[in-house]
Structure 1
Amino acid sequence: TQESLAKTETLYQTAQALIAFDSLTEMLQTVVDGAARSIPARQVSLQTVSLRERRIIHFVRGGEDRNGIASVNFEELWDGLGGWVLRNKEPVISNADDDERREGALARKRARNARLGSRMVVPVRFRGKLFGVMQAAKMRGEPDFDRRDLELLGAMANQAAMAVENARLFDEVQRLANTDELTGLSNRRDLFDRGQRELDRSVRSEQAVCALMLDIDSFKAVNDTHGHSIGDEVLREIAARIQGAVRDVDIVGRYGGEEFAVVLPETELDIAIVVAERVRHAISNRPFDTGAGSLDIQASLGVAQADKRGGETIGHLLDRADTAMYVAKTDGGDVVKAA
């Protein structure tokens, strides 16, 4: 039928438009705008959520009355028809003359005050994964939505769900490519990429940057005595203790083997030495609980500050910190040395 052809054309055009965007928010906006034109609806919105954290991640609006769509938090969404759909994973139509009991009293009041008429809500899901809801509304006095409208909104929501899933998979691939599998820290490549960007930024902003290199003292003896599985436990705990001793903005990575590196943005050398001492104390002051029992672990650390005039690569900065670290090791270990 003509209507089926129009629906197919709408879905095709939306799918083609999605190819042009890299941003998930732009993709979701394209889906919402396409739905608002095709159904048609005065208001269309899409909310992706984290049910575990009970928060809204994306909130996208569309339609000629998009500015009339009130911002809501997760609890308000949960109280309304959107919450019913999230709980039941089923689409719903609610017409203006319905005594709507699938939503709470406050949600019903908001709908009345906004003079909303017929409403539809569908789940945004892909292969059993629920990402959120997509909603459409008309104003009072306008014709009610019907099952065909609901089917089209559901088809548009499926496109949104595929966009969300593809973005999630892309992020996961990126994360795996940049993460050390054992410790969860940045791997060497990511450490160098992010560290170089920070170094370049520091030259433009005329801010100091320091690097810290750490090597576990006598780590070979841990592996030889207790086995590599215990060595892996120690490496994971070292990573956790380093992260606990530095700022969120600092870049922590596994350099290789039992060596770790930290890039410290906007940090002068004297402060970097204090940070390195804090890391050293975090490692040496408390035994490591492992499958082989309690182990005392120490580490040697080297610190270097980047040349503020620029021209230095992150590799060269880390090499200088590495040289200082080996001075610390030759001095007996469990100490901090500056380049």
Structure 2
Amino acid sequence: MAQRQNVLDNLQTVTSLKRKIRELSTLSEIVQAINSSLKPEEILETIMAKAADLIKAEGWSVLLLDYETRELVFKAAAGEAGKKLLGMRLKIGQGVAGWSARHGQSLIVPDVSKDPRFYSGIDAKTKFVTKSILCVPMRSKNKIIGVVEVVNKSDGEPFTNDDLDIFENLVAHVTIALENAAIYRKMEEASLIDDLTKLYNLRYCNQYLDKFLAERKSEFGIVSLIFLDIDFFKLVDDNFGHLVGSETLRRVGERLRRTVRKDDVLVRYGGDEYIVILPNTDKQTATAIAERIRKEISREPFFTFDNQKFSISVTLGVATYPEDAKTRDELIGKADKAMYDGKLSGRDKVVVA
């Protein structure tokens, strides 16, 4: 009898060791995968694809905190209701995930029907039936940035403390990876933004046009470009100083923002020159937008720091792909030349290539 018990104990030990090896192997694969990417979407997709090997569950989701609204937003999800969940929101404190986010604690709910913290509104919207939940908060620099939860273990059994240990380990790695991705994204964005005006810089302009032209080449896409320059800008620097000159450049950027459309791209080309990229816009429409910009820039006076008034005007050139140019540099060059022709013929006008 004792020998039989020893055999059973040994089998349990072997089974447990095999499971642990499988868990560590899968976790290692996940860590390698998430550390090889700096894109949050790819990191979350990796989690979704690999986690099923760790904890057999019917579905699970990643909710990230929206700091402006103080709500949890479903950013990634898998399972029967996965796609329906994306974009849905929970208030902090609402539901099991909201409770976990508010208190910063992991949580196992074996039977949601017996737990008052469970919020049934999500199930009502997705037609999914949640029975049990394992929930782990994501913490970065002592702040909760989101929550990961899995629902309904596939074998019908409740989630265990072993499951919780595995998932807490996984979520810790995921949180670090998402944090690194956020830092990288901020650095990348900073390298594409002009420090003074907060408009895009020439590097971004070139990247955007290269991508747009490559994608539209076979689809007969169209893009127009406005090149504008401040008339007699040197006089602003000479008469009022470089600080006023810099402030004027920033204010011009603000007036451009309130004049263009949502999908138009604003660029500080350099010095007192700006570019407006108008995707999917013909020359006639681009010319009308350029005229609107010209009027907006000169409509109100600018001011020095001691409240002296002065006025400026701009000259603008318009060119369109593929009508006027076949490449990015040619498009910018054609709009620049049209602007220069406007300078030679009197300034404060729109000239079309």
Deviations 1:206-263 (A, max 9, x none): 3443321111122222223333232222212211222322223323211110100122
Give a deviation string over 1:290-339, Cα, whole Å, max 9, x none.
534244222111222344386x3222222222222223223442222223
Amino acid at match of 2:315: S
Partner residue, 2:11? none
> Which segment drifts farther, 197-206 or 243-252?
197-206
Q: CA separation of 1:110/1:149 partners in 2, compared to 1, >3 Å: closer, same or farther?
A: farther
Cα distance, 1:6 vs structure 2: 5.2
Q: Does 1:296 align with 2:285?
A: no
Cα distance per residue 1:107-157 (max 9 Å; x no partner)? 69899982503x221112333343311112336994433333222211111
Pairing partner for 1:225 from 239, 246, 254: 239
Q: Partner residue of 2:267?
A: 253
Residues 265/158 of structure 1: CA separation in 2 closer, same or farther (3 Å cut): same
Percent of aligned positions that are identical: 28
Cα distance in 2 between the residues matched to 1:115 and 1:222: 67
SS in 2 for 1:273: helix
Deviation string 1:275-302 (CA, Å, 9 cap, x unpaired) is 1110111111022355342442221112
Match of 2:182 in 1: 168
Q: Tell me the amino acid that sits aligned with residue 298 of structure 1.
A: S
Greater gyration radius: 2
CA distance in structure 2 between the partners assigned to 1:107 and 1:313 by the alignment: 50
Where structure 2 has 5 or more consecutive residues not aligned to the other structure, the ranges are: 1-15
* Post-superposition offset of 1:50: 1.7
Q: Post-superposition, which runs of at least 4 consecutive aligned residues in structure 1 deviate over 6 A?
A: 107-113
User: For residues 123-272 of structure 1, what are the structure 2 equivalents within 5 Å?
Assistant: 123-138=137-152, 142-272=156-286
Mapped contact 1:116–1:140 kept (Cα < 8 A): no
Looking at structure 2, the residues matched to 328 and 173 of structure 1 have their Cα atoms a distance apart, in angstroms, of 38
What is the aligned partner in structure 1 of residue 135 from structure 2?
121
The answer (yes or no) to whether the contact 2:63–2:75 under 8 Å persists in 1 is yes
Give the 3-state SS of the residue equivalent to 1:240 in structure 2. helix
Mapped to 1, the partners of 2:21 and 2:304 lie a distance apart of 65
Match for residue 34 of structure 1? 50
Unaligned runs of 5+ in 1: none
Q: For this pair of structures, how many residues does the alignment match? A: 333
1:84 to 99, 102, 119: 99
Using the size of structure 1 for normalisation, the TM-score is: 0.83
User: CA offset at residue 55 of structure 1?
Assistant: 6.0
- 2:117 equivalent to 1:102: yes
Report whether the alignment pairs 1:13 with 2:29: yes
TM-score of the superposition, structure 2-length normalised? 0.80
Amino acid at match of 2:68: R
Higher mean Cα deviation, 275-284 or 194-203?
194-203
Point out the more displaced range, 274-283 or 213-222.
213-222
| Cα RMSD after superposing both structures | 3.3
